[in-house]
């Protein structure tokens, strides 16, 4: 029996896509510069259907690209021409909201924001809030270890996931953690968070819920230069203050976001900081006085506090709209996701500005300043191959800079196919070999998302002698596990 015929026996007709036009929405994730047409797309609705698809892929030795909501920004869900895209988006039930233990148990296709909406009746919420939280799924958040604008105080996905149920490529099921604060044995939860679909399929997630803070207030602070804003970020952290969020946008990002979202941002400055404080009324009042005084000392040209919840939401809407707002200046953007020590912010931002001038592509900087997670948005036109090549070149130079100052090539978007070369520059052969041994322990056939997240040793040996363009390799056979 053929591979497609076997799938047709275990999936409803509408859950198996084989026609080109039906598969086209799945040819890329949000990193739309890289596209490929998969052999098939499977859309199971139950765990049993997922297990059946996995068994058929294993029998026919067909590689699997797991997919969530498709909001990823590193090409981690880029299909393989000979492979199966296995979407978990239809497994979208909230299985349990447990206010007593402050946890929720959900399927992988549940949207990030839907968890907080379901928990709101109990005065609880789920803290990680990527800018795509309206659409992104919790399974994808686990795969990429997503963060968000409030990750400085409340952590990334790994800090908020208590348990996972995972289906391995071998057909075995793992249950890791649960509703308890700690479990015995090796910390495989941490291994699975950020594993980008290489180790297993996330079938169920137990997340931590937090009480809604009584008060939350955001300060909108303008600076005459990005260097002054970067220094202010460092000063806040050095003062021992941990805001709920501490975000930064440069002039170009601020202008685009304001024109798009009408959030009330000042436009007569080179940089804007968003500093949110939350907690009790007394705590917020005390910290607000501290940070306001600190910002003025650091050269702020204006400081404004949200006066009510509606204004606070409007200010954050501008920040969370910054990515789509880039469409006002170019058809496409290439989003970089390096992370650097906070003390290097001013130096790195200055160099990014120089790269923008040198290569003639606008770069808007919008990022999680509190933890040094940069998101330079390189504006370009994907219809122009030369502009795409230039955008990739500039992106790689920014990632090389991040590593050079003691940082890393990704903070929350993952490596996918986009940053494979950059990984060669960050990790030595021994470290990469250890990553591959871990992959083999979970997935001995190498069926899950092959060629993603961790480059082969052969690739890194050739690093510098070849260039990856459009997510494609001169020697693709090197990348199959």
Q: What is the structure's pLDDT at 186?
A: 87
Q: What tokens were used for 394?
A: 């500039």
Exposure class string for 387-403: b at 16+ Cβ within 10 A, else e: bbebbbbbbbbbbebbb
Beta strands at 64-67 and 84-87: parallel, antiparallel or unpaired: parallel
Residue 146 Rama label (left phi>0; alpha psi -120 to 50; beta): beta
Q: What is the structure's pLDDT at 3?
A: 98
**Considering only CA atoms, which of 42, 70, 69 is closest in space to residue 54?**
42
* Domain 215-324 in the same topology as domain 3-87: no
Q: Give the H or E element holding residue 95.
A: strand 94-98
Q: What is the structure's pLDDT at 468?
A: 40
Q: Give the H or E element holding residue 161.
A: strand 161-167
Cα gap 273→229, rounded to integer Å: 7
Longest dimension (CA), the chain: 73
SS3 readout for 4-22 = HHHHHHHCCHHHEECCHHH
Radius of gyration of the chain (CA): 22
Q: What is the structure's pLDDT at 31?
A: 86
CATH 3.30.70.2190 fits domain 215-324: yes
Q: Give the H or E element holding residue 227.
A: helix 226-238
Q: What is the structure's pLDDT at 314?
A: 96
The ranges assigned to domains in the chain are 3-87, 94-211, 215-324, 420-479
Cα gap 452→447, rounded to integer Å: 11
Q: What tokens were used for 180?
A: 């308890």
Encode the chain (481 residues) as per-residue pLDDT tens digits. Answer: 999 999 999 999 999 999 999 999 999 999 888 899 999 999 999 999 999 999 999 999 999 999 999 999 999 999 999 999 999 999 999 999 999 999 999 999 999 999 999 999 999 999 999 999 999 999 999 999 999 999 999 999 999 999 999 999 999 999 999 988 777 788 999 999 999 999 999 999 999 999 999 999 999 999 999 999 999 999 999 999 999 999 999 999 999 999 999 999 999 999 999 999 999 999 999 999 999 999 999 999 999 999 999 999 999 999 999 999 999 999 999 999 999 999 999 999 999 999 999 999 999 999 999 999 999 999 999 899 999 999 999 999 999 999 999 999 999 999 999 999 999 999 999 999 999 999 999 999 999 999 999 999 999 988 654 344 444 443 343 344 3
- The architecture CATH gives domain 3-87: 2-Layer Sandwich (3.30)
CATH of 94-211, one of 3.30.465.10, 3.40.50.300, 3.10.20.30, 3.40.50.720: 3.30.465.10
Q: What is the structure's pLDDT at 464?
A: 52
Cα gap 42→14, rounded to integer Å: 9
């Amino acid at each position: 029996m053929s591979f497609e015929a076997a799938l047709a026996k275990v999936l409803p007709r509408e859950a198996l896509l084989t026609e080109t036009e039906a598969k086209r929405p799945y040819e890329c994730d949000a990193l739309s510069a890289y596209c490929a047409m998969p052999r098939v797309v499977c859309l199971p609705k139950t765990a049993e259907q997922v297990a059946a698809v996995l068994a058929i892929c294993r029998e026919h030795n067909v590689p699997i690209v797991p997919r969530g909501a498709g909001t990823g920004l590193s090409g981690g869900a880029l299909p393989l021409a000979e492979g199966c895209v296995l979407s978990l988006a239809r497994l979208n039930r909230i299985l349990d909201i447990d206010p007593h233990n402050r946890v929720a148990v959900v399927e992988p296709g549940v949207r990030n924001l839907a968890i907080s909406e379901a928990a709101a009746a109990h005065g609880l919420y789920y803290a990680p809030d990527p800018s795509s939280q309206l659409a992104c799924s919790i399974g994808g958040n686990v795969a990429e270890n997503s963060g968000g604008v409030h990750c400085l105080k409340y952590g990334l996905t790994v800090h908020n996931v208590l348990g996972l149920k995972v289906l391995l490529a071998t057909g075995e099921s793992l249950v890791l953690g649960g509703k308890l604060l700690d479990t015995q044995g090796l910390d495989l939860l941490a291994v699975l968070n950020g594993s980008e679909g290489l180790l297993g399929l996330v079938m169920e997630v137990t997340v931590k819920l937090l009480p809604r803070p009584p008060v939350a207030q955001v300060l909108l602070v303008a600076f005459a230069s990005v260097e002054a804003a970067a220094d202010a970020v460092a000063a806040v952290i050095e003062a021992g203050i941990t805001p709920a969020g501490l975000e930064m946008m440069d002039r170009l990002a601020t202008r685009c976001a304001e024109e798009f979202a009408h959030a009330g941002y000042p436009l007569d400055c080179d940089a804007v900081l968003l500093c949110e404080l939350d907690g009790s009324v007394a705590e917020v009042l005390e910290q607000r006085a501290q940070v306001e005084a600190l910002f003025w000392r650091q050269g702020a040209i204006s400081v404004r506090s949200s006066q009510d919840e509606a204004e606070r939401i409007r200010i954050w809407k501008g920040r969370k709209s910054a990515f789509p707002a880039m469409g006002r200046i170019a058809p496409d953007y290439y989003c970089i996701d390096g992370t650097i020590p906070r003390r290097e912010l001013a130096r790195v931002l200055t160099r990014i500005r120089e790269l923008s001038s040198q290569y003639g592509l606008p770069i808007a900087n919008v990022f999680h300043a509190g933890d040094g997670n940069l998101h330079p948005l390189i504006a370009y036109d994907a219809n122009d191959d030369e502009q795409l090549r230039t955008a990739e070149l500039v992106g790689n130079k920014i990632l090389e800079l991040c590593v050079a100052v003691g940082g890393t090539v990704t903070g929350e978007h993952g490596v996918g196919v986009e940053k494979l070369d950059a990984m060669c520059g960050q990790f030595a052969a021994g470290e990469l070999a250890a990553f591959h041994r871990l992959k083999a322990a979970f997935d001995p056939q190498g069926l899950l998302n092959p060629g993603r997240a961790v480059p082969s040793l052969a690739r890194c040996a050739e690093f510098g002698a070849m260039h990856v363009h459009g997510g494609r390799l001169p020697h693709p056979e090197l990348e199959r596990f």
